A and B are shown apart, each in its own frame.
Chain A
Amino acid sequence: MQVLIKRDQLNHAVQHVLKAVSTRTTIPILTGIKMLVTDEDMTLTASNSDISIECSIPFEEDGEEIVNVMRPGSIVLPARYFGEIVKKLPEDTIEIDVKENFLIQIRSGSSEFQLNGLDPEEFPRLPQLEEEKVFSIPADILKTIIRQTVFAVATTETRPILTGVRWNLHNGSLSLVATDSHRLANREANVETSEDLSFENIVIPGKSLTELNKILEDSDQLVDIVITDNQILIKYDKVLFYSRLLDGTYPDTSRIIPQSFKTEMVLNSRMFLQAIERASLLAGESKNNVVKLTSRPGEEVEITSNTQEIGKVTETITPASIQGDEIKISFNAKYMLEALRSIDSDEIKIGFTGSMNPFIIKPTEHDWITQLIVPVRTN
Chain B
Amino acid sequence: MGKIKILDDRLANMIAAGEVVERPSSVVKELVENAIDASADKIEIVIEEGGLSSIKVSDNGHGIERDECRLAFERHATSKIQKERDLFHIQTLGFRGEALPSIAAVSRLELKSKTRESDSGTRILIEGGKLKEEQEIGMPDGTEVIVRDLFYNTPARLKYMKTIHTEVGHVSDLINRLALSHPDIAFILKHNDKILLKTMGDGSLLHVIAAIYGTSTAKMMVPLENDSIDFTLKGYVARPEITRANRTYVTTIVNGRYIRNYPLIQAVIRGYHTLLPINRYPVSVLHLDMDPVLMDVNVHPSKLEIRFSKEQELLELVEGTVRRALEKQTLIPEPSKQSAAGRTSIKTEKPVQTDLELTRKTRPESASFNFQVKGTKDRPTPKEIETFQKWVQPEPETETTGMIKEDSQSNEWNADFKNPVPDQHPENGEEQTENKMDQAGMAGENSPDRLPVLDPLAQLHGTYILAQHEDGLYIIDQHAAQERIYYEYFLNRLKQDTIESQNLLVPIHLEVTAAESQVIQENLDLLSQVGVHLEPFGSNAYVVRALPRWIPEGEEEAVVREMIQMLVENKKINVVQLREEAAISMSCKAAIKANRYLTRPEMEALLDKLRESSNPFTCPHGRPITIHFSSYEIQKMFKRVM
User: Which residues of A does B touch, CB under 8 Å?
Assistant: 23-29, 31-32, 47-52, 78-81, 84-85, 88-89, 111, 113-116, 118-119, 121-127, 155-158, 160, 163, 205, 229-231, 242-247
Contacts and interface: CB of A to CB of B under 8 A. Distances in A.
Most chain A beta carbons < 10 A, residue from B370, B373, B388, B595: B370
Contact of B591 (A24, A89, A156): A24
Interface string B215-240: 00000000000000000000000000
Say what secondary structure dominates the interface of chain B. loop
Interface of B: 367-375, 377, 380, 384-385, 387-392, 395, 399-400, 403-405, 410, 413-414, 417-418, 420, 459, 461-463, 482, 590-593, 595-599, 601-603, 605-606, 609
Contacts of A115: 414, 417
Contact of B370 (A88, A127, A155): A127
B400 A229 contact: no
Given A24-B482, A25-B392, A88-B405, 20 more contacts: A23-B392, A26-B482, A26-B603, A27-B605, A49-B599, A49-B602, A85-B403, A88-B403, A115-B414, A118-B387, A122-B374, A122-B384, A124-B372, A125-B374, A126-B371, A127-B370, A155-B595, A157-B597, A230-B369, A244-B369
Given A114-B418, A230-B368, A27 B602 contact: yes
A124 B369 CA distance: 11
Nearest to A156: B595
Given A29-B388, A156-B462, A156-B595, A24 B590 contact: yes
Most chain A beta carbons < 10 A, residue from B374, B384, B599: B599
Contact of A244 (B368, B391, B410, B461): B368
Contacts of A81: 391, 403, 413
Nearest to B605: A26
Nearest to A20: B370
A79 B391 contact: yes
A26 B392 contact: no
A113 B414 contact: yes
Contact of B400 (A84, A205, A244): A84
8 contacts: A28-B387, A28-B388, A31-B388, A88-B404, A118-B384, A124-B374, A242-B371, A243-B370
A114 B461 CA distance: 41
Contact of A50 (B370, B377, B413, B601): B370
A113 B410 contact: yes
A48 B371 CA distance: 10
Contact of B403 (A78, A84, A247): A84
A244 to B, nearest CB: 5
Contacts of B391: 28, 31-32, 78-81
Contacts of B380: 27-29
Nearest to B594: A157
A126 B372 CA distance: 7
Contacts, number: 139
Contacts of B418: 114, 116
B606 A157 contact: no
A367 B414 CA distance: 58
A80 B404 contact: no
A54 B329 CA distance: 47
A88 B404 CA distance: 7
B368 A247 contact: yes
A114 B601 CA distance: 30
Given A24-B590, A26-B605, A28-B387, A231 B392 contact: no
B402 to A, nearest CB: 9
A242 B369 CA distance: 11
A271 to B, nearest CB: 37
Contacts of B595: 155-157
Given A80-B391, A157-B463, A47 B370 contact: yes
Contacts of A155: 595
Contact of B385 (A25, A28, A122): A28
A49 B593 CA distance: 13
Contacts of B461: 156-158
A242 B410 CA distance: 34
A56 B274 CA distance: 48
A41 to B, nearest CB: 20
A84 to B, nearest CB: 5
B592 A24 contact: yes
A158 B392 CA distance: 27
Contact of B596 (A29, A47, A114, A157): A157
B443 to A, nearest CB: 28
